Amino acid sequence: MGVMELLLPPACAGCGRYGAVLCVTCVAGMRSARAPDDHFSSADPGIVVGEALEVAVAAFVHEGATRRALQRLKYGGAAALAAPLAERAMPALGDLLAMVDGDVALVPVPVHPERQRQRGYNQAALLARVLASRVGLPLRDVLVRTRPTARQHGLSRAARLHNLRGAFGLAECVPPGSAAVLVDDILTTSATLEACAEVLRAGGAARVVGFAIAREV
């Protein structure tokens, strides 16, 4: 623990209590996206299926402390939240990885360089790095954002797909026949994951699945 943390302990991003960036109470209250009382458009509330994207799984519902923590991670410069969020989501990632075999790597969804400069990091890359280290799989940061896009909030899935057309590219080759686990912070309509999956599949990936910390209700 550093001197600054001793003098000024961190405040929980979920509730504001001092002592940890994400306290035990808020962690315990993170609701699984696959709980039977959740209501999404798909048959299983924690799963979506695409075309290039084989399947996408979210760990938690995007609400309460989970929402506040992800907002702090994404917009508030709270990079330290990536580790506790990723670690709490590990069981859901384990379930997803049980469906994938072969040459598997985690691939973070990229942000545009300008946005990354503003934030200081790519939150999906931070999450993917922690997850990859915990499951012992490689991290392949091969996707790039080739152009800025309008904010996705409030757009339909069709509008999101149109907004993202041509927005992603490959920085380096994907091993032919490999499998990619796309990692993002929030899953809404799966349009971003689908657009990234199209690029990976065109680049040689045989299978692409998606994983997010939380899913919008």
Closest CA to 87 of 33, 27, 31, 138: 27
Percent of the chain with pLDDT over 90: 68
What pLDDT does residue 42 have? 41
Q: What is the CATH number of the domain that holds 208?
A: 3.40.50
Confirm whether 64 is domain-assigned. yes
Confirm whether 9 is domain-assigned. no
Confirm whether 19 is domain-assigned. no
What pLDDT does residue 10 have? 86
Which of the pair, 170 or 48, is modelled with greater confidence? 170
Range of the domain at 64: 30-215
Confirm whether 15 is domain-assigned. no
Query: How far, in Å, CA of 166 to CA of 199, rounded?
Result: 9
What pLDDT does residue 34 have? 75
Confirm whether 197 is domain-assigned. yes
Joined together, the tokens standing for residue 173 give 């080759």
The pLDDT tens digits of the residues spanning 19-37 come to 899 999 999 999 998 755 4
Prediction pTM value: 0.86
Confirm whether 4 is domain-assigned. no
Q: What is the mean pLDDT of residues 192-213?
A: 95
Q: What is the mean pLDDT of residues 72-95?
A: 95
What pLDDT does residue 155 have? 63
Domains identified in the chain, total number: 1
- Report which listed range, 82-86, 154-158, 172-176, is most confident: 82-86
Confirm whether 10 is domain-assigned. no
